[in-house]
Structure 1
Amino acid sequence: MRKDAMIYAQKCDASQRHSNILHQPLERIHPTIEAEAFAQVREQKVISFIKQNILTRSESPAEIICDNGSQFIGKRTTDFCAAWGIKMITCIPVHPQANGQAESSNKIIVNNLKNNLGTKKGKWAKELSFVLWADQTTSKNATG
């Protein structure tokens, strides 16, 4: 979809002639965290999650960072992502930066859940969406 929009904007004579900037689709600068609580995660649930929580809420992401679980690297999931032009990055030694990002995101989620729940630790699945919303709506600055 991103490529189609760029090609369309580049072919539009009026846009290119009457504007001094190149029209391109908006790209996110900061990655977003998407998560949901499941008792068991199978490939079909991963595909449904991507459809419902990622593709329907924003443009197709260039990549998704996940762990090396079979539900993420299975044929159905990888074929689905390839069809949408999504690169699956797994947290293995080949991609140490991906592991750091995933671990940092997990740490933020876990700490915020602990702060919100206090002694009611068994209720984390109900609070997860609120913690994710708070993280996504909080402004962040790059460090380093």
Structure 2
Amino acid sequence: MDGDLYRRSADDGLLFQCISKFEGLKIIAEVHEGICGAHQAGIKMRWLIRRYGYYWPGMRKDCMTYAKGCIDCQKHSPMQWVPAIEMQLLVKPWPFRGWAMDLIGKINRLNQKERHIFHRFGLPETIVADNGFVFRANEVLQLGIDMQVKMVTSTPYYAQGNGQAEASNNVVIEIIEKMIKDKPKRWHEALSEALRAYRNSKRTMLPMELNVKSARVALQHNLIPADYNEVMLAELEELDEVQKLALDHLMVYKAKVMRAYNKRVKFKSFAEDDMVWQTVLPPGKVDRVYGKWSPTWKGPYLVHQVLHGGGYRLKDLDGEVHERPINGRYLKNYKPTIFELMEEKKTSTK
């Protein structure tokens, strides 16, 4: 028709002007991110282009590829909250073998000469903390060497690895807040009592039981040394059995938690030299320039090294390796733009 080629629609009989792929890409760019472009999905763009009366072979595929490869769409896509790998159980066979450690926030000291406050309830084998600079300082690492404690850092940013410490800190802070009253700078004097109160069990003897003797204290005082030693030895004989029973209960509980956790897993893995986006951490962080319009993802980066347990070490496109690893949960694949795919196709055919 007038030297132009048209295609008749099979469903409604409308005529669509046939254009080249190059002209089609210009139309897609205008519809997607041009004037009144709303960065819509590929299916919606195909519907709009048909409505404008254009057609070319592979139009639907080109619309889908263009939308997936849009840099702005990838940067501002929502965060993926589901776990990327199955839960890996960490079971400690005896109490205080491993600790999870975190900071409770900025606190003021009464005496500036007090450089360290160290409360020890049995020396742990490992201490797990996040990758904060405080926990990676030379003084902390040297403390672990001196105490023969292995310092382990969780993969950033992975708050679940340190969530137990955060919950414990909140409880301790609430206890201290109620004890210091109008003398907040003397918090360190209440710390020992707060930790003891937090770790009380039904077998712990409280200070008040020494002043006003309870029934169990009075019973112990009425025992002669021989009977008292016999009772203590009987409890020691049952100690191994009680510990094994507690470990069995712990394993059953951990298995139950793991089954519930693994139902939410959406497996995601990357190989070396894969191009990926990284979540802006912590999630919800606002950029000073963009404000509430801040992107959710940053990059792209290349995968430099695949670590154990779903961790990865990234590097910039110019080859500079990142110092801190990242959990795979906070990564996603980079989708190349349609122009990059076309250039790659030309290179491969040469």
TM-score where L is the length of structure 2: 0.24
Q: Which structure is higher in strand share?
A: 2
- Please identify the structure whose Cα radius of gyration is greater: 2
Structure with greater proportional helix content? 1
